[in-house]
Amino acid sequence: MPTNDKAAAELQAVLDKIASWPEPFPAIGQQLHETILSAGPKLKPRLWYGGPGYAAGRSTPVMVFFRVDDGVMSLGVSEKAHAERETDSLLMPAAFYVDEVDERTLERVARLVRAAFARP
């Protein structure tokens, strides 16, 4: 929960941005927002490059973000985030396209958020 006017304004800006997107993205964005904050309750949401971004503090780098550009929603982690390799692969997922969500997807998002903010 925001503890000051600046944090409350940043949260409201994120919520307003999510609400401004064309359908079906507001509902998806709200679910992503809630999942990200649930996985990282101390995270600070703010607008980052025009979309919701989440950082450990107001003056720390954004680690997780999502946005809608040209009718496509993407979810990603920034270069400052801790990334984990996929099982049996050398790939470290950094971005995903999202056009719908289900419980399994939201669980994956929560794991991604927890990994992004984990200390290496």
CA gap 50, 96 in Å, rounded: 18
User: pTM for this one?
Assistant: 0.91
pLDDT of residue 50: 94
CATH number at residue 19: 3.90.1150
pLDDT at res. 18: 98
d(CA 75, CA 66): 4
What whole-number distance in Å separates Cα of residue 14 and Cα of residue 19?
Answer: 9
Tokens at residue 84, please?
């984990």
Q: Which pLDDT does position 2 carry in this prediction?
A: 53
**Mean pLDDT of successive 10-residue stretches along the chain, which has 120 residues:** 80 98 97 97 95 94 96 94 86 92 96 87
**How many structural domains is the chain composed of?**
1
pLDDT score at 31: 98
* Beta carbons within 10 angstroms of residue 83's beta carbon: 17
Give the residue numbers spanning the domain of 56. Answer: 5-116
Centre a 10 Å sphere on the Cβ of residue 12 and count the other Cβ atoms it contains.
Answer: 12
pLDDT of res. 118: 87
pLDDT digits (tens, 9 = 90+) for 31-55: 999 999 999 999 999 999 999 999 9
Q: Do the beta carbons of residue 119 and residue 82 sit within 8 Å?
A: yes
